[in-house]
Chains A and B, each alone.
Chain A
Amino acid sequence: MLKPKISNRLFQYSNHVFLSIVALLCILPMIHVLAVSLSSNYATTSFLVKLWPIGFTLDAYEKALNSNNFLIAFRVSVLRTVFGTLLSMTLTMLAAYSMSKDNRYFRGRTVYAWFFVFTMLFHGGLIPTYLVVQKAGLMNSLWALILPVAVNVFNVVLMMNFFRGIPKELEEAAAIDGAGHFRILFTIFFPISLPSIATLSLFTMVFHWNSWFDGMIYMNQANQIPLATFLQALIAGFDYTQIGLNPSDLESLSERSLKSALIFIGTLPILLVYPFLQKYFVKGMTLGSVKE
């Protein structure tokens, strides 16, 4: 009995080491971005900064936080992420619930499934989608960023597979108590599936937070442009037009520090969502003990 314990411990140790190394590899680029954002213009222009700031300065953060556009864009992003995720997750749960039913029980399920999956692959493309959004009168409205992407078929399919893992007995017991579909979904499926819901919510939030193209084409006013659009314009090589060029400080042409600072503050909020959601990952473990 001793041997397996030792090998087990050995495994635990090496596993920890392995995971730590991989995690380190993953965090290095972020640290690099952070270091650049805290470095002097010369150091960043000459690509000298690796993982530690050179010529430490908070200038970039001061500039970033002083920029009106940045704060307004931040607000738009929060709004679209919150409302977009709420709507999208509601639709996802409703659709996934229906589609998790057996074919023999819910006739037409397969038709729905193909109807959904087909849209994952075939997109009309930029122009016709734009025309629909425009004709629907959604231009310059937050809805243009929410409605066209509200149904996320990938999430629906995953959710449906999670729902299928829920023991049939729970559902039947509730049905015997007279619960309808709506009640079953929200009193049984919902609490049991919190880990998956948290996961898919995270996916949706990340998606909304990072989407930039729709913000670019549907929004015409400065106070409606989401942060991702704002950052994309900044990062994607168009930076040179973005900077208030002063005759005296052409060096601001580079602004790699400012870019990095904006990227960092722009990414931080969404990075913090995950650690927060992690508590829902444990609750799901009570699944086995819900009711027998």
Chain B
Amino acid sequence: MKGQRKLLAVIISILVSMSMVAACSNGANNGDPAEVQPSASASPTSSNQEDPPAAPQPNDRTKFDPPVTITAALQLKPSDKLRNGDTPEDNPISRWFRDNLGIVTKYKWVVTDSLETKVRLAMTSGEELPDVLSVSGTLFEDLVASGKIQSIDEAFEKYATERVKDSYIKNPEIWNSVKRDGKVYGLPTISNGIVGATVMWVRQDWLDKLGLKAPTNIAEFDAVMEAFTNQDPDGNNKNDTYGLALGGNTGYYHPTSNYMADTSFIFGQDQPYLWIKDASGNLQYGSTLAGVKDGLGKLKDWFAKGYLSPDFGTQDAAKAMADFTSGKAGIAFAPGWSGGWPIGTAVAEAEKTNQALDIKPYPLPAGVNGEVGRQASLPSYGTYVFSKDFTQMEAIFKYWDTLYGCAIEDPKCPFDKGYGEGYDYVLNDGKTEWKDVPDGIVSLNAYLMLSPSSGTSPTNVMEGPNIYQRVASGQLDNVFEQKLAASNGKLTIDGFAVAYEQIAQDVPSGFYGANTATMKEKWDQLSTLEEQTFLQIIYGKQPLDYFDTFVKQWNDQGGKQITKEVNEAVASLK
């Protein structure tokens, strides 16, 4: 039921980023934004329907005749309000694919909660699965083991266009999450690499009032925290503010690393919860590194000084962020999209009512050991799998290529302006408007059968500045940039642009493969131990040196074995 809380961060990221598919970024324009090139980097030519179809061409609009019907699962939404009598199976998106490519989507399942239960029950009872499902985690493992989904190596080779292949070639680690016994069992989405990356949001008005600058290292950060906590930054003569909003109650064991209101910057390059390469090239579990102990020591110190909320261990991300947007806390770390909600919402409201709420995104300060670093966004936020009896993979890759084109700002993208007139844009005398859609903007993202890039253009595919950086610097040359600018708040754009500045210092995990044998048995207990230890140390219920006891316990209770297995698994994938 609430199993999904664990995945919340991921889900939010996907959604937030999906919402921006329409406002996609430029692919390969080599840093010269004025020259928008027709297609993505590796694609040799733009589409040409007369060519003999030896290799699949991008933007190939040959229609399937008779039309191909593909079944899928639809997530039911409470605020679902399709317009003009449209239905989930008959709307601007489905009509375009039906009329131009001869691809029809039917919804076999309507899902209200997670797919997980539904798929497992269907497996047990021998019911047929829909042709396409988007899955992740253990459900993917089970589906592979069940033999109910097909390996897609051949289909990928045969039907994927060059530019789509190229996107995977440039992100080779992505296949690791879906490769089992040398075969690929799903088509992973490729993230834009930034959707989960945090920036530092600071109350600029508080800084100004106290005559401070945004901190760039721990010493400066300390000073700002002290001032925000003790020097009455809101000027109400009450000691009712604190430094850093931190949501320690994550539901997925990572108390210092929530999807908003996190504090991963403090650990620099020694990120907990990730698999980190040591000097000899072996993977170590981040939470056992010495740098993490230092970070926890700092947090413990801050807690004791009142820089953190005494309730942070019970607060989830939304509650902690509320402390920030309602003027209790002065700093919060959150991804760029939070410049829309919740920060943007709060700032807009404050402007309306003439309250002081000036918030700005800043690059992360260096962590406790002098290095800048944060948890990298996941390389992929979900995988499409295909039923074993499904034979229309060609249609899948045509659908995929079309939307991939949109992700990399191909001018031939049929949804360059948006997904439907009257939904996310309107035409006024031939001019596209994104702001004044009658009855408000409605997104049609949910009705995409496949959504290849979970965000703006996939990592490593583009060169030069990212679309957020371009738009933030005022560039509005192509329709994608214009749409992004018109449909996102300034804080969102700035937030992502700032996040990109430090992307080189992001710390990825060295392991995204399947859970190893010992992991399956012990991981949740180890994580519970880890989470309790971290919180108890910060809360001062345990001395900092308890960390060493934890590391020993962690290793003894299976962690050592898991580390060994993880390193073996990684070696075997090479």
Contacts and interface: CB of A to CB of B under 8 A. Distances in A.
Chain A–chain B contact at Cβ < 8 A: yes
Contacts of A248: 434-435, 441, 486-488
B79 A254 contact: no
Nearest to B124: A127
B79 A236 contact: no
Nearest to A127: B124
Contacts of B78: 64, 67, 69-70, 230, 234, 242-243, 258, 262
A245 B75 contact: no
Contacts of A242: 75-79
A250 B322 contact: no
B34 interface: no
Interface in B450-491: 483-484, 486-489
B20 to A, nearest CB: 6
B23 interface: yes
Interface string B303-331: 00000000000000011011001100000
Contact of A241 (B11, B80, B118, B349): B11
B457 to A, nearest CB: 15
A292 to B, nearest CB: 54
Interface of B: 1-2, 4-5, 8, 11-12, 15-16, 18-20, 22-23, 74-82, 88, 108-110, 112-114, 117-118, 121, 124-125, 127, 251, 318-319, 321-322, 325-326, 337, 340-342, 344-346, 348-350, 424, 434-435, 440-446, 483-484, 486-489, 492
Contacts of B341: 45, 250-254
B153 to A, nearest CB: 30
Contact of A127 (B110, B113, B121, B489): B121
26 contacts: A45-B322, A46-B325, A47-B319, A64-B78, A70-B78, A130-B124, A134-B125, A216-B112, A216-B113, A217-B117, A220-B109, A229-B113, A233-B113, A242-B75, A242-B77, A244-B443, A244-B445, A244-B446, A245-B445, A246-B487, A247-B23, A248-B488, A250-B19, A250-B344, A252-B341, A254-B345
Contact of B442 (A46, A233, A244): A244
A248 B483 CA distance: 10
A7 B443 CA distance: 67
Contact of A237 (B8, B125, B325, B484): B8
B443 to A, nearest CB: 4
Interface in A63-106: 63-64, 66-70
A182 interface: no
B239 to A, nearest CB: 20
Contacts of A233: 76, 112-113
Given A42-B349, A251-B341, A225 B110 contact: yes
Contacts of B489: 250
Interface residues on A, range: 35 or more
A173 to B, nearest CB: 53
Interface in A242-289: 242-255, 258, 262
A66 B340 CA distance: 25
B326 A46 contact: yes
A225 B113 CA distance: 12
A256 to B, nearest CB: 8
A152 interface: no
Contact of A240 (B12, B23, B345, B434): B12
A66 B489 CA distance: 27
A251 B113 contact: no
A230 B81 CA distance: 15
Contacts of B319: 47
B21 to A, nearest CB: 9
Given A45-B341, A250-B489, 12 more contacts: A42-B325, A45-B321, A55-B349, A63-B81, A217-B121, A237-B8, A244-B77, A247-B441, A250-B16, A250-B344, A253-B12, A253-B15
Contacts of A247: 19-20, 22-23, 424, 441, 443, 483-484, 487-488
Contacts of A45: 318, 321-322, 325, 341-342, 345-346
Contacts of A66: 81
B436 to A, nearest CB: 11
B75 A241 contact: yes
Contacts of A250: 16, 19, 337, 340-341, 344, 488-489, 492
Given A245-B16, A248-B487, A225 B112 contact: yes
B340 A251 contact: yes
Interface string A196-236: 00000000000000000101110111100100011011101
A67 B337 CA distance: 26
A58 interface: no
A135 B125 CA distance: 9
A122 interface: no
Contact of B19 (A40, A41, A215, A245): A245
Given A46-B342, A134-B125, A246 B441 contact: yes
Nearest to A247: B487
Nearest to A66: B81
A68 B322 contact: no
Contacts of A42: 325, 345-346, 348-350
A65 to B, nearest CB: 10
A27 interface: no
A63 B80 CA distance: 9
Contact of B88 (A130, A217, A222, A237): A222
